[in-house]
Structure 1
Amino acid sequence: MDGESLQGLSAAARSTGRACQAVNLLAPDRNAPPMVQISSFAFMVKNLIRQRGLQRLAGRAHLTGTGMALPWRLFETANLGGDNIVEDLALGLELATQRVPPVLVEAATVWSAAASEAGTLVQRRRWEGGYLATSVRTVPRTIARSVARGDLRGIAAALDLSVPPLALLVLLNFAAGILGGAAVFAGGDAWPLLVQLVVGILALTVLTIAWALEGRSYLSGTTLLRLPLYVLWKVPLYLGLARRGAPVEWLRTGR
């Protein structure tokens, strides 16, 4: 993080009295393996595109570990040593329940180098496993609490948290499409399949727009077309999570 970003982040924490999150990105590297390039692009979608949307729709952002600033009054009482493997995400959600949700500071950016191809999978296993486990535990009660309060922004934040990572979202949509097609073949209604087709087209359109506006430095259009291979590359990760659950300890990676 450069000096200007650091000053802007700390100033935002002082002025808002809330935890502040810089835009946390991996440095683009067109010489990296294609799977690493696509993973870095997906990381940008999560930490810039989705964070920006969450801030505008719900007035909050997720803490991502790197590039955070907390006012001392929040820091001294925060649960910084929790047992959640994605403790940064959990801390942000805890602050939101206390009605002091974190905010995104778009003027501040922190860059990190991407891991190797093998290291990227290890990182994703920790982050995505922890994210999914936290989502399953948190989303139902967050929606219930927000509905009871009439808090539309809280509902929007819960719905955002319920969206799985990009590769898993593509897999789930594909699986639902296969089931819908099988149902139609067996004589069932066609509308579930049509819904999945529309959802898939919308998701592909939004992803293409995100690449055109923010992702060209991460990968070429040709590399983006390898997204199906990226999804297949991560299938063993999701099968492992299904069998063993989320990791419970840090997994070190090489750069």
Structure 2
Amino acid sequence: MIVHQFVILFVEIVLFAIALGLFVPVSIFFIECSAALLPEFQIQSYYALVPRPRVDILVPAHNEAAGIDATLQSLLPQLVEQDRLIVIADNCNDDTASVAHKAGATVISRQDPERRGKGYALDYGLQFIAKNPPDVVVMVDADCIVYPGAIARISRLALATARPVQAVYLLTQPPNPQPKDIVSALAFMVKNSVRPRGLGKLDLPCLLMGSGMAFPWQIIHKVSLASSNIVEDIQLTMDLAIAGYSPKFCLDALVMGTLPQQQHAATSQRTRWEHGYLQTMLKQVPRLLKASYEQKRFDLLAIALDLCVPPLSLLVTIWATAIAGATLAGVLGSSWLPTILLVVEGLLICISIVAVWVKFGRTNFPLRTMLTIPLYILWKIPLYLAFLFQPQTEWIRTQRDSVVGE
């Protein structure tokens, strides 16, 4: 009897700890999504505060000959005479360099098979422009379309605020998308548009997203990007924020990529993103919390809390597993308190997802998409199990489709 009571007490403590632990990311997710639904505020006229700065655009490219011309054609009309468009052909064995040169970009080539990855390419680009530095450096992936006006807006905002600036970075669905492609694009929209929008309305910083980023030269030249970090954008966010330069979200500048259509490519890309995110979350949240306490800065605490929110499918998977266990324990005689807390958290998740879909997703994501979310989560479970046993730690380029885009 005593052993039985001890087991029940132990189970109750474990389940209650899990429920409390989940309350942090769930409540942060709910607050960010709820803030995004608030009425639009008038965008501060930073663009009128400063003249158009001199801009260098860095485009790291590894075997991007098939699609880079579309990216460059979206950028060239946005340049003025003083700007430079620089493509870093990084460890390429295709015609990336010649395609970029014919398009009108300045091309620099880098060959170093031992030091592969986007971070090394960008660092090489920064070294190249250091001889004649611009006011602002903009970084754009080689598979993205940059919408008109985006370069001027993010560069002016970066110069006016002396902070890194992140444009809205979204992914379009591939031709003939599968249900999981549509759900993946929806999840990406929530992560890269809705949540940063909510943070912006709360006047809080956002995470950098890897493409459509603008940096004042006086800030970015102090940072070393030379690494093979598979989520170099998040690592850069942490380094700059702790140094005193928290990124700002620019709602009216848009950069678009495309989800890969091939199953293997989609899985590879997701594995790199999410394994890298989870590794960074585990390492950087304690670092941010420590820096927030030592520097007495709420913006660092806000970034740490935002980083605590795992990928949505993983959050739902953990929640579903926890509530199933808590319900079973309740039926077997344990306390129902963890179950009640988890039910509340589940309602917060559901309310957030439905409200965001109604506000931002009805046009591009039909209602039937919502019904396929459980299947999408099941598709992602092996990815998360792989993180426990064999996390991806090396940069691997995503295989591009034959069409323009990723």
TM-score by length of 2: 0.60
Per-residue displacement from partner, 1:27-50 (whole Å, max 9, x unpaired)?
256841110010011000000111
Residue in structure 1 matched with residue 250 of structure 2 by the alignment: 105
Which has the bigger relative contact order, CA under 8 A and spacing at least 6? 1
Seen in structure 2, the aligned counterparts of structure 1 residues 237 and 67 have a Cα distance that, compared at 3 Å, is same
The letter for the 1-side match of 2:261 is S
Per-residue displacement from partner, 1:76-118 (whole Å, max 9, x unpaired)?
1222222321001110111000111111111101011221151
Residue in structure 2 matched with residue 38 of structure 1 by the alignment: 183
Structure 1 residues without counterparts, runs of 5 or longer: none
Higher strand share: 2
- The residue correspondences of 1:173-212 to structure 2 (distance < 5 A) are 173-212=319-358
| Equivalent of residue 134 in structure 1, options 267, 270, 280 | 280
The letter for the 2-side match of 1:244 is Q
Per-residue displacement from partner, 1:167-223 (whole Å, max 9, x unpaired)?
101100001101211221221110101111111111011101111111123321111
Higher helix share: 1
Residue in structure 1 matched with residue 41 of structure 2 by the alignment: none
Following the alignment from structure 2 to structure 1, what is the Cα–Cα distance between the partners of residues 176 and 362?
Answer: 14
Preserved contact between residue 58 and residue 154 of structure 1 (Cα < 8 Å): no
SS in structure 1 opposite 2:364?
Answer: coil
Query: How far off is 1:125 after superposition?
Result: 0.4
SS in structure 2 opposite 1:217?
Answer: coil
The answer as to 2:220 corresponding to 1:75 is yes
| Equivalent of residue 398 in structure 2, options 239, 247, 252 | 252
Following the alignment from structure 1 to structure 2, what is the Cα–Cα distance between the partners of residues 52 and 24?
Answer: 12
The letter for the 1-side match of 2:170 is L
Query: How far off is 1:11 after superposition?
Result: 1.0
Structure 2 residues without counterparts, runs of 5 or longer: 1-145, 402-406
CA RMSD of aligned residues (A): 1.7
Following the alignment from structure 2 to structure 1, what is the Cα–Cα distance between the partners of residues 309 and 198?
Answer: 13
| Equivalent of residue 10 in structure 1, options 140, 152, 155 | 155
Structure 1 stretch displaced more, 220-229 or 29-38: 29-38
Preserved contact between residue 204 and residue 302 of structure 2 (Cα < 8 Å): no
Residue in structure 1 matched with residue 363 of structure 2 by the alignment: 217
SS in structure 1 opposite 2:225?
Answer: coil
Preserved contact between residue 57 and residue 156 of structure 1 (Cα < 8 Å): no
SS in structure 1 opposite 2:149?
Answer: helix
Preserved contact between residue 22 and residue 109 of structure 1 (Cα < 8 Å): yes
Per-residue displacement from partner, 1:112-134 (whole Å, max 9, x unpaired)?
12211512221110011000000
The letter for the 2-side match of 1:166 is L
The letter for the 1-side match of 2:362 is R
| Equivalent of residue 48 in structure 1, options 167, 170, 193 | 193
Query: How far off is 1:2 after superposition?
Result: 2.2
Following the alignment from structure 2 to structure 1, what is the Cα–Cα distance between the partners of residues 293 and 333?
Answer: 38
Preserved contact between residue 38 and residue 223 of structure 1 (Cα < 8 Å): yes
Seen in structure 2, the aligned counterparts of structure 1 residues 107 and 23 have a Cα distance that, compared at 3 Å, is same
Fraction of identical pairs, as percent: 35
Residue in structure 2 matched with residue 167 of structure 1 by the alignment: 313
The letter for the 2-side match of 1:112 is G
Following the alignment from structure 1 to structure 2, what is the Cα–Cα distance between the partners of residues 221 and 193?
Answer: 29
Seen in structure 2, the aligned counterparts of structure 1 residues 19 and 39 have a Cα distance that, compared at 3 Å, is same
The letter for the 1-side match of 2:221 is E
